[in-house]
């Protein structure tokens, strides 16, 4: 087991977001999973520390909840420099970015979450800032406008994105290190749960950590959230100890099944199978049947259902696989070989 930092007193933390932040690893040694990315990033940071100066710009891509924000903070901690945090949607004009860049200190890490959503004018300013540590500030308008060059301190940009394909090519090419974070396997998630339980001073057995890990959809953020809900159940309906019986009862209460499917996932599969014979059916029709927005189904439920082999996205619409029928204890009308 990796080193565990100081114990967190959960009673002193005011809200769930604070607890989540407190559970985040502070160093690469504490970071669980993503072994290849961790090794590669560790080499980049070690070389930077040996040479001095700012590290190469880092781009982290991958689905939500896998540790992109945590890794950005780790970069700053490992280099012993401050970190400035903002997001792409918050930078709506080039002036917004210029204000942030001009206030950076030497060596500081600038973390931009959802960097693919940054305004185009700001992205173009970022090209020059990343390459030459300089921005041109426009003064005035029309023919009389002039560009005043502003020298910036050396900094390290860490960008995070869930949709790397939407990044402009010139911006993507200016990152010296690019890493894609993959979903975690159940063993790594069990280790995440074990570490978080130690930090929260929760008494939990290994069967329970494995059970929570297997239902966490390959995502540490979900694993930590489920652990906190199981802890609540153990505190109210037991003696605070988390056993396998407590874990399964708690997850049943919160409608998280053995595959990690939640209420929305099950509702989507049931509507697809019981109302439309397994499909194909259009997303908008399916959304009406479930009573949710199409965007919610497409962005929240579908990615995991497709990855779990329970749903197919075809040109004619969404279709339930044989595995989806069997998961709902139903017999597929025309059984085919498993995907």
Alpha-helix residue ranges (DSSP H) falling in the chain? 16-22, 35-51, 68-79, 94-102, 120-132, 169-172, 186-199, 206-214, 220-237, 244-253, 263-270, 283-290, 294-296, 302-307, 322-327
The DSSP output letter for 162 is S
- Identify the three-state secondary structure at position 146: strand
Distance CA 212, CA 103 (A): 43
Q: How many CA atoms lie within 13 A of 271 on its CB side?
A: 20
Compute the residue count for the chain.
339
Beta strands at 58-61 and 177-180: parallel, antiparallel or unpaired: parallel
Q: Give the catalytic positions in this structure.
A: 68-69, 113, 162, 221
Q: Give the residues across from 84 on adjacent strands.
A: 110
């Amino acid at each position: 087991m990796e080193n565990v930092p100081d114990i967190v007193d959960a009673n002193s933390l005011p809200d769930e977001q604070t607890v989540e932040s407190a559970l985040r690893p502070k160093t690469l040694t504490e970071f669980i999973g993503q072994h290849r990315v961790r090794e590669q990033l560790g080499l980049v940071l070690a070389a930077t520390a040996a040479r001095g100066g700012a590290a190469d710009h880092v781009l982290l891509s991958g689905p939500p909840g896998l540790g992109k924000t945590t890794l950005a903070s780790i970069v700053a901690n490992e280099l012993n420099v401050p970190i400035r945090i903002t997001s792409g949607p918050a930078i709506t004009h080039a002036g917004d970015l210029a204000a942030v860049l001009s206030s950076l200190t030497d060596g500081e890490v600038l973390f931009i979450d959802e960097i693919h959503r940054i305004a185009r004018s700001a992205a173009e300013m970022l090209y020059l800032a990343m390459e030459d540590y300089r921005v041109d500030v426009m003064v005035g308008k029309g023919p009389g406008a002039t560009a005043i060059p502003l020298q910036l301190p050396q900094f390290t940009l860490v960008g995070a994105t869930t949709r790397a394909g939407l990044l402009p090519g010139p911006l993507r090419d200016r990152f010296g290190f690019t890493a894609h974070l993959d979903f975690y396997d159940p063993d790594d998630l069990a280790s995440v749960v074990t570490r978080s339980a130690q930090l929260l001073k929760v008494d939990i057995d290994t069967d329970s950590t494995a059970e929570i890990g297997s239902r966490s959809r390959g995502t540490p953020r979900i694993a930590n959230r489920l652990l906190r809900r199981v802890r609540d159940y153990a505190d109210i309906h037991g003696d605070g100890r988390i056993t396998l019986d407590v874990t399964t009862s708690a997850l049943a209460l919160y409608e998280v099944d053995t595959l990690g499917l939640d209420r929305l996932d099950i509702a989507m599969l049931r509507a697809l199978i019981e109302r439309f014979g397994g499909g194909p059916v259009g997303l908008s029709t399916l959304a009406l049947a479930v009573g949710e927005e199409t965007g919610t189904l497409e962005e929240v439920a579908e990615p995991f259902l497709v990855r779990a082999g329970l749903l197919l996205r075809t040109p004619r619409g969404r279709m339930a696989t044989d595995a989806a029928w069997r998961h709902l204890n139903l017999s597929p009308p025309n059984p085919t070989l498993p995907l």
